[in-house]
């Protein structure tokens, strides 16, 4: 004979509170003191109470799912980044018993979800615009320039991160840094281009920039890296924006007879970090965008809008420059 499942009434009786107070404490709703929440959560844990997520969503007339919208077409040069953002969102939503529906490419204007995270929404993306107007809570992962404005947003100061990287190169002796940038109207790509040009102007340096389409195939990246060195053979540092392009740039530098890091004549750095960059020879300096944490923050902000009607806010997501051997000072 099986053991009877612990019910919400069992928890309420054991904790000495009404079933309404117990339910509010365990769901985060209503006005319940921190001490009461702690007491009820302790009793629920001791008894082994498992909330019925499906029933909770049904009572609230919700689907129990949030949507995470990835920009179309899915930029192959940032696939690893978007995958980790999605995993982070899934991890955070799972803590609340909420599912995640990935929305990629052209999708129905109003999917069956309780809210939407727009990741890297572009100003000229009609599907992102339709989702923003769907009448659901919307959190923008990075700045959304369209209308209506998202309910909340999670933003990264990409301008500050790239400026820190460029200053790091300058401190190591670089005076002619070149940039492989990404075309596109989404916030990250636009900010990388404009920040680099602004930084060059501030120091009266000649910009050395080549752009590639955000939806370029991975196989095309080595060609762009070689072209960057061919067009700017005098460059003493290469800054690579597309995810994964730094590895191709290392190979292109070797082919061109350039020596990277350790007192060589060329520095290489990436705007998007990844596990492989630590294993390169030399290891590549990069901006760690912490995509998994970014995805968690976006999902957390959206769940706050759905469950507690939090006020609109713009959270700032912290990133970090990982200094490695590829940007050791140049040979004097």
pLDDT averaged over every residue in the chain = 86
**Alpha-carbon dihedral of residues 183, 189, 190, 193, nearest 10 degrees?**
-80
DSSP calls for 49-104: ----HHHHHHHTT--SEEEEEEPSS--GGGHHHHHHHHHHHHHHHHHTT-EEEEEE
Per-residue pLDDT reduced to its tens digit, 18-42? 888 888 787 766 678 888 988 988 9
CA-wise closest residue to 264 among 248, 241, 279, 282: 282
The single-letter DSSP state of residue 260 is B
Domains recognised in the chain with CATH numbers: 8-51 (no CATH), 65-157+291-318 (3.40.50.2300), 158-287+321-327 (3.40.50.2300)
pTM: 0.78
pLDDT in tens, 135-189: 889 999 999 888 788 889 999 999 999 999 999 999 999 999 999 998 887 899 9
């Amino acid at each position: 004979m099986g053991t009877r499942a612990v019910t919400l009434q069992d928890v309420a009786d054991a904790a000495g509170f009404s079933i309404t107070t117990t339910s509010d404490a365990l769901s985060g709703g209503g006005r319940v003191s921190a001490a009461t929440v702690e007491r009820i959560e302790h009793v629920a844990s001791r008894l082994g109470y498992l909330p019925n997520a499906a029933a909770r969503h049904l009572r609230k007339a919700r689907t129990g799912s949030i949507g995470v919208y990835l920009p179309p077409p899915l930029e192959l040069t940032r696939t690893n980044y978007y995958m980790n953002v999605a995993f982070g969102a899934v991890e955070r939503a799972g803590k609340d018993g909420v599912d995640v529906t990935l929305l990629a490419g052209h999708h129905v204007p109003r999917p069956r979800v309780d809210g939407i995270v727009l990741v890297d929404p572009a100003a000229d993306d009609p599907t992102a615009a339709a989702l923003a107007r769907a009448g659901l809570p919307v959190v923008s992962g990075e700045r959304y320039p369209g209308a209506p404005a998202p309910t909340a947003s999670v933003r990264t100061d990409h301008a500050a991160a790239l400026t820190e990287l460029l200053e790091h190169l300058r401190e190591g002796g670089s005076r002619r840094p070149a940039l492989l940038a990404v075309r596109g109207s989404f916030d990250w790509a636009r900010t990388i281009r404009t920040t680099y040009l602004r930084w060059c102007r501030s120091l009266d340096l000649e910009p050395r920039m080549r752009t590639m389409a955000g939806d370029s195939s991975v196989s095309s990246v080595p060609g762009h890296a070689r072209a960057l060195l061919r067009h700017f053979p005098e460059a003493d540092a290469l800054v690579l924006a597309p995810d994964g392009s730094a590895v191709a740039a290392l190979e292109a530098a070797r082919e061109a007879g350039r020596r990277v890091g350790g007192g060589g004549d060329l520095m290489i750095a990436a705007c998007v970090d990844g596990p492989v960059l630590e294993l390169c020879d030399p290891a590549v300096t990069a901006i760690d965008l912490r995509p998994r944490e970014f995805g968690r923050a976006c999902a957390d902000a959206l769940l706050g809008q759905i469950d507690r009607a939090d006020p609109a806010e713009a959270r700032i997501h912290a990133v970090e420059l990982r200094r490695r051997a590829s940007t050791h000072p140049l040979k004097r």
